[in-house]
Amino acid sequence: MKKPIQDMRQHIIDVAKSLMTNKGYTAVGLSEVLTTAGVPKGSFYHYFRSKEEFGQALLEEYFQEYIGRVDIVMAAEGTGAERLLGYLHYWAKTQAFDHPEEKCLVVKLGAEVCDLSEDMRTVLEEGTALIIQRIMRCVEQGMADGSISPTQDAAILAESLYQLWLGASLLVKVKKTMAPFETALITSKRLLA
């Protein structure tokens, strides 16, 4: 029995996420995705109008899944600062070398697809804005409960923290060491004080 269109579409995205997390967007051809997914080559356009639409769907799926995990981590007990630091520890843990299935597609695909597709760039922009909003909520809660210095601008601090950790994620890949995350955590604690 054939899978319904939506199930097969999801299956293709799931397979592609793993491939592209490891290799990148342009390094993975549709043929590789479809072969790995066990889908006939000619049927791709039955599920997606183009590779670009497929890329958008992949990124949208990633952000939906990631934001759900972030919400769970940030809903933990504790002060705003404790919950935010919990998220940053989660970031470092999931972006470590031994968690390839949880790698950040923003880090892996961001620079690559922003130059290829305005639509995919928009998905990245909107998705990262959602993450920054959640960081900002923790910062605001921390300012309200006294665990984060109230003399800072919450939006600027949230954006700065996200940029710091995005850069640290890239440096972890470049240097093949967790040291950039350790530095980012020290810097984050100073920014919150």
Nearest to 67, CA basis, from 87, 97, 53, 93: 87
Asked if the model's pLDDT at residue 102 lies above 90, the reply is: no
pLDDT tens digits for range 144-188: 999 999 999 999 999 999 999 999 998 998 999 999 999 999 999
Asked if the model's pLDDT at residue 125 lies above 90, the reply is: yes
In whole angstroms, give the CA distance from residue 64 to residue 71: 11
More confident residue, 99 or 143: 143
- The stretch 136-145 carries a mean pLDDT of 97
pLDDT tens digits for range 5-24: 678 899 999 999 888 888 88
51-192 belongs to CATH 1.10.357.10: yes
pLDDT (0 to 100) of residue 1: 46
pLDDT (0 to 100) of residue 74: 96
**Given pLDDT bands bounded at 50, 70 and 90, which one contains residue 2?**
low
**Given pLDDT bands bounded at 50, 70 and 90, which one contains residue 100?**
low
In whole angstroms, give the CA distance from residue 30 to residue 141: 45
pLDDT tens digits for range 23-72: 888 888 889 999 999 988 888 888 899 989 999 999 999 899 999 999 99
pLDDT (0 to 100) of residue 97: 65
DSSP 153: -
Geometric angle at alpha carbon 96, from 93 and 97, rounded to 5° = 150
Q: Where are the domains of the chain?
A: 51-192
